[in-house]
Structures are given as C-alpha cells and as structure tokens.
Amino acid sequence: MHKLRRVKGSPSGYLAEIIDCKSGDRGDRLEALKSRLANRYAVLEAAYTVADLGGVAVSTWTPAARSDLLHCYESTVKSLETLKSLIKQRQPEGLRDLCPYCGIGPAVQFDHYLPKARYPEFSVHSYNLVPCCGPCNGLKSETWLEAGVRVFLNIYIDSLPTAPMLKPSVTWSIRGGRSVPKVSYALVRPAHFRAGKFRIIEKHFEKLELLDRYKDQSHSEFTILRDAALAREANTVATLRRFLLQFLERRKETLGPLNWKVALYEELITHRPFLGECLAT
Ligand SMILES: [Zn+2]
C-alpha cells in the first residue's frame, strides 16, 4: 500500500481534450454540457479533502447525458490513453505498475474512486482515476460510503502511517520432510497514528479482504526469499542474515515500509526456523 501523486495539469483541460475527440451528435451533446461539467468539476475539486470528499452530492443526469459521460471513459480515444499514461508516469518508478490499494498485483485497471455509475460526470476526472489491480477494482465496485462515511482510502489524499502497520505471525510445520511456514497477518495501529484516522484504513483492509489476500500470497514470497538466500550460498547464520537484510533494505526502499512483503521479510529474517531452512541444503 502506498500513496499516489496527482497528475499535473488541469482536470478540466483533460476533459476538454477528450470531448474534442467526440464527433457527431454525441460531440454536440457533450459540448452543450461543458458549462454544467465545469460547475461539477469545481464542486469536486473544492471538496477534494480528507474531511469533505465523502460529502460530494450526486447530481441527476438524463439517460442520454449519462450515457455520453460514461462514453468518455468507456470509449478509448488517444487523449484518454494519454491521461491514463500520465497518471502512471507521475508515480515513482518502482511503484508505477503496482496496485496502491493492496501492493499485491499489477495496476492494470483504473478505479473510479467516486463510482462512475453514480457520478458519471467524473468518469475522466484525473483526481478520480486510481490505477489499481483487477481484484481491488472488483471488490471495491460501486461502494465507497457507508452511512455517509468513506470506507476506502483515497490514496491521493488520505494519511498513511510512516511506520509499519502489518504484523505477520509465522508458524512452522513439517511437510514432505521440510519446514513449511504458515503466515497470518494482523493490522496494528502504529503509535502516534490517530485512532480516528486509522478507522478508514481498517475499513479499507476489511472491504478489500487484504489480510486474507496477503496470507494467500505469502508462501510464494517465502520461496522467493529462501531461493534468493540459497543462490548466495550463505552458509552461516551471520552471512545469511547480512544478505537477507540487504535484500530487505532494497525492497523497503522501493516498496516503502507499509508494504506487506516488507513486513513478511522483516518477520522471517528474525525467525530461527526460517534461517535454518535456508541453511539446510
Ligand atoms: Zn490491488
């Protein structure tokens, strides 16, 4: 999980470029909506804060207007592709292709933070487009509020702790003559991170089933880490630990302290059974 930077440039400038690509009756209808769209864009941008974003009211559109607004996103034109590409390029290189909601999968889709089914006018608003993975996009779906309160992190503006917030627990069992780890995760509020701010993180984890998804991913990460250690032919606990710490530091630098892999690696490196498993070949 990591923060995203907002793309530079005016959201209404990107919208105008997309509308300019539309021709015929649809182009004329969208052109006629421009002033209302400018008002709606101003409403969203004024409310684009942690405190106010959940209060953006739904606006009513005719079926034709709604269809035209959704078409702006659903029909690919060069200016939309350019906008999507700029959003991804704005992110740091090591994180550009990683889903910011989970940190597991590649960011191959775009989530509409305010769901486009309810807010079709923001279907191509640059602040509303979040590159993410398919599972996160599917799980988030059209939900974003519960009792008027946001239940997913807006990764452009919400605060994230700077200290780790995932605590993996590793137990070992013998399978096929080898020690095999079983990993589960707990979400913990770091000291000095306010409970009120942490509530949305807890909801985000719950709705995106992150603790279970990290658990499912952990065995392959264990294998990657062990194979990396074995490839280095580290044959004492001291040399192995030194190598693993370097491996961890490199990933922490790229992925940040909140990433689930980083949390797992930090936990495994302190585990005697894991070190023993790496040395037992
Ligand atoms: Zn994801």
Mean pLDDT per 10-residue segment, the chain (281 residues): 93 96 92 96 97 96 97 94 96 92 96 97 98 97 92 96 93 80 93 93 97 93 82 77 86 89 89 78 58
Give me the sign of the Cα torsion angle 95, 204, 84, 3: negative
Q: How far is the CA of 210 from the centre of ligand 1 (A)?
A: 9
Which neighbouring-strand residues pair with 121?
A: none
Residues 121 and 29 in one domain: yes
Residues 141 and 17 in one domain: yes
Residue 159 lies inside a defined structural domain of this protein: no
Residues 136 and 258 in one domain: no
Residue 248 lies inside a defined structural domain of this protein: yes
Domain count, the chain: 2
Residues 16 and 141 in one domain: yes
Q: How far is the CA of 102 from the centre of ligand 1 (A)?
A: 4
Domain assignment of residue 270, given as a range: 166-279
Q: How far is the CA of 106 from the centre of ligand 1 (A)?
A: 7
Q: How far is the CA of 108 from the centre of ligand 1 (A)?
A: 10
Q: How far is the CA of 233 from the centre of ligand 1 (A)?
A: 34
pLDDT of the residue at 198? 95
Residues 15 and 136 in one domain: yes
Angle at 162 between CA 157 and CA 163, to 5 degrees: 145
**Residue 38 three-state SS:** helix
Q: How far is the CA of 178 from the centre of ligand 1 (A)?
A: 32
CA dist 278 and 281 (Å) reads 7
Q: How far is the CA of 134 from the centre of ligand 1 (A)?
A: 7
Q: How far is the CA of 137 from the centre of ligand 1 (A)?
A: 7
Residue 236 lies inside a defined structural domain of this protein: yes
Residues 87 and 119 in one domain: yes
Residue 77 lies inside a defined structural domain of this protein: yes
Instruction: Give the residue from 63, 83, 62 showing the smallest Cα distance to 19.
Output: 83
**Residue 210 three-state SS:** helix
Residue 151 lies inside a defined structural domain of this protein: no
